Amino acid sequence: MKLQNKVCIVTGAASGIGKEIALTFAREGGKVAIADLNKEAAQLVADEIVAAGGVAVATAMDVTSEDQVNAAVAEVVAAYGGVDVLVSNAGIQIVHPIEEFPFADWKKMLAIHLDGAFLTTKACVPHMKASGNGGSIIYMGSVHSKEASVLKSAYVTAKHGLIGLCKTVAKEGGKVGIRANVICPGFVRTPLVEKQIPEQAKELGISETDVIQKVMLKETVDGEFTTVRDVADVALMFASFNSNALTGQSLVVSHGWFMQ
Ligand code: NAD
Q: Which residues line ligand 1 (CB under 6 A)?
A: 11-12, 14-18, 36-38, 61-64, 89-92, 112, 140, 142, 185, 187-188, 190-193
Which of 25, 118, 139, 155 is catalytic? The answer is 155
- The answer to whether residue 207 is domain-embedded is no
> Ligand 1: which of 92, 229, 254 to mutate, judged by most atoms within 8 Å of the beta carbon?
92
| 141 CA to centre of ligand 1 in angstroms | 10
Ligand 1 center to 143 CA (angstroms): 14
155 is known as an active-site residue: yes
pLDDT band at 203 (very low <50, low <70, confident <90, very high): confident
Has residue 143 been placed in a domain?
yes
72 found inside a domain: yes
Percent residues over pLDDT 90 in the chain: 97
To test the ligand 1 pocket, which listed residue (9, 11, 15, 61) has its Cβ within 8 A of the most ligand atoms? 15
Q: Is residue 59 part of a domain?
A: yes
Q: Is residue 192 part of a domain?
A: no
Q: What percent of the chain has pLDDT over 70?
A: 100
Sign of CA dihedral 161, 162, 165, 166: negative
Per the prediction, the chain carries an average pLDDT of 97
Q: How many domains does the chain have?
A: 1
Domain that holds residue 131: 7-186+226-253
Task: Please say if the pLDDT value at position 237 is more than 90.
Answer: yes
Q: Is residue 135 part of a domain?
A: yes
Give the rounded distance of the alpha carbon of 108 from its chain centre: 17
- pLDDT of 122 higher than 90: yes
Residue identifier of the C-alpha nearest atom 2 of ligand 1 = 192
pLDDT beyond 90 at 221: yes
pTM > 0.95: yes or no: yes
At 106 the pLDDT is 98
What pLDDT is stored for residue 85 in this prediction? Answer: 98
Helix (H, G, I), strand (E, B) or coil at 250: strand
Would you say residue 114 lies in a domain? yes
CA of 24 to the centre of ligand 1 (A): 17
Reply yes or no on whether the pLDDT at 260 is more than 90: no
Tell whether 210 is covered by a domain: no
Q: What is the mean pLDDT of residues 166-195?
A: 97
- Classify residue 156 as exposed, middle or buried by CB count within 10 Å of its CB (0-12, 13-18, 19+): buried
CA distance 206 to 196: 13
Q: Sheet of 7-11: strands edge to edge?
A: 55-60, 31-36, 7-11, 85-88, 135-140, 178-185, 249-253
pLDDT at 232 over 90: yes
pLDDT score for 227: 98
CATH of the domain at 86: 3.40.50.720
CA distances for 200 relative to 21, 151, 193, 226, angstroms: 27, 8, 10, 19
pLDDT digits (tens, 9 = 90+) for 150-177: 999 999 999 999 999 999 999 999 999 9
> By CB neighbour count within 10 A (0-12 exposed, 13-18 middle, 19+ buried), where does 29 fall?
middle
